[in-house]
Amino acid sequence: MALMISVSGIRGIFGSHLTPQNLVTFTSAYGTWLNGGTVVVGRDSRVTGQICEDIVCATLQSVGCNVIKIGIAPTPTVAMSVLQHSADGGIILTASHNPEQWNALKLLNSKSEFLDADQGKEVLDIADKCEFEYKLFDKIGTVQNDSDAIQNHIQAVLNLPYIDSDLIKSKKFKVAVDAVNGGGSVALPALLEALGVQTECIYCEPTGIFPHNPEPLPENLTEICDFVKEKSCDLGVVTDPDGDRLALVDENGRLFGEEYTQVAAFDLLLSKNPGDTATNLSSSRAADDITNKYGHTCHRSAVGEINVVKVMQEKGAVIGGEGNGGVINADLHPGRDALVGTAMILQLLAERDIKASEYRDSLPDYEMSKQKIELSNLGMDADELLKKVTEVYADQNPNTVDGVKLDFDEGWVHFRKSNTEPIIRVYSEAKTKEAANQLADKILSVIK
């Protein structure tokens, strides 16, 4: 498997494809692209995080960048730190939902946005040509530590005008947390404590040893569902290893479904500040339904949070997100954030005085099927498959902004190459899981 390079970062299995040599190359290119300046560096809890951090920080210094290290922290905390320090950029060392043997570089610009396709290409061109200059001893960058980054992030969430911590505290919520021993292991319980919430934690030790598959999908979350019931919690919250995706569990141990995290956040914010929203092509129609309820439009982008952010900016959307549990609240920073998502959900439950299960039952109900096709088993390459889907369903007005999406009255199917794995993702949605699977299977059978 080759090193994977996309808008979702530069990632691979450490020691196999993500090596010290290419960490130096890509970091040197990024520091050169910034032309020096200050870079915030943070990481999730992976075992390889410390060695990657050492390499990256030393490399940044060597090309003349000053480094602010915040240590183990959620990805959104790094993003907040870039803004707080008026830094020129940021690097997060995390492979997000990938298994623990993986690691990655995620690169931010001075606006705390992930690099877009054009910016990423500029960095890759510098890396390809090795066009970087290492500084002499009297020109190397400095390093300082910031131990307050997580607390500053939490305070920024508490300062949002629609987060009423006194109201939340008055409800005496009990919340279960599964941070998969990742970057949110300290931050998420600390946020809940600041909101006056009683917390019950499993897997909140930042060891980087993930106790279950770290992607917050239903099949990986059976323990937290049982834990919520065992501890009589009002809500369960789950993050991925870098703390930007959020999954929810109601008081009965029933999963909300990751698609409904952003829907709930949309609902809260639009009740305070109505406006357009944005999400990606693979997200549920429930996002459209909740936005339409407030008389506004949900705009669609290619998958990848920077793509959602760009559409948010273009359309003036008041909030955005992705159906993988990502909430993008531009009142804080332009990226997914499980901490602000958690606070928004608790605020919604508190002010509407409603149980998590009752709220979930009030939302539009769809079922989604998420399948993967290994490219090695495909019998044709990814581009060939996507082209064939487009040709066969040309009369269906396929959307080819990102792979191929086909919309039908009864649901939709989206085929796209993954940004993070060597696979084709096949997402489909309908009123029932069976109908969603049938819709995807029907199209796959025609193509094959």
Which of 45, 96, 185, 418 is labelled catalytic? 96
Where are the strands (E) in 260-325, listed by range? 277-280, 298-301, 319-322
Q: Give the separation between CA 429 and CA 425, rounded to whole angstroms.
A: 13
Sign of CA dihedral 263, 235, 185, 332: positive
What secondary structure letter does DSSP report for 163?
A: -
Residue pair 181/206 in contact by the 8 Å Cβ criterion: yes
Q: Could you tell me which of 34, 101, 46 has the C-alpha nearest to residue 73? A: 46
Q: Which of 142, 146, 151 is nearest to 69 (CA)?
A: 146
Residue type at 17 in one-letter notation: H
Active site residue 96: yes
Which residue shows structure tokens 């439950």? 349
Q: Are 62 and 91 in contact (CB under 8 A)?
A: no
351, amino acid identity: E
b/e map of 251-279 (b: 16 or more CB within 10 Å)?
bebbbbbbbbbbbbbbbbbbeeeebbbbb
Look-up: residue for tokens 């008389």? 295
Instruction: Catalogue the active-site residues.
Output: 96
